[in-house]
Amino acid sequence: MIVRKLEELKGTDAEFKAAKGTWTSRRMLLAKDKMGFSFHDTLIHAGTETYIHYANHLEAVYCVGGKGELQDLDNGVTYPLYDGVMYALNGHERHYLRAEEELRMICVFNPPLTGREDHDENGVYPLLTEED
């Protein structure tokens, strides 16, 4: 069994801040844990906009705090985000995340992240494995 506490991840490599500064991901389970998915507690910082395209991953996200919106660029629909809203990117949809107030998002990725991934200029995470 694996038990981890958010307070213990703070200040370690598992607390990953995006180069663009719009989000911070506390990566609680990673590829090395051999669960088949990774599990993150992510903060999308207030007043930011992030363009994302997970071309190589599936992601489900559950908002547990804050206020913002998700814009699906593939169908043009914008969804409000607040505590209790879940979305799953089952079609690699290009999207924007906008945070009016800091959003707290619980995320899972398949395949699992290794912990070093950040968005490139196209909003994509590279497909890394533990061997990379």
Given the rule CB under 6 A, which residues bind ligand 9YT? Answer: 23, 25, 40, 42, 52, 59, 61, 105, 107
Nearer of residues 11 and 106 to ligand 9YT, judged by Cβ = 106
**Structure tokens belonging to residue 27:** 């990566």
CB-nearest residue to ligand 9YT: 25
**Structure tokens belonging to residue 24:** 């911070």
Nearer of residues 23 and 37 to ligand 9YT, judged by Cβ = 23
Burial class (CB in 10 A: 0-12, 13-18, 19+), 68: buried
- The residues near 91 (Cβ < 8 Å, ≥ 6 apart) are 74
CB of 118 to ligand 9YT, least distance (A): 8
CB of 3 to ligand 9YT, least distance (A): 20
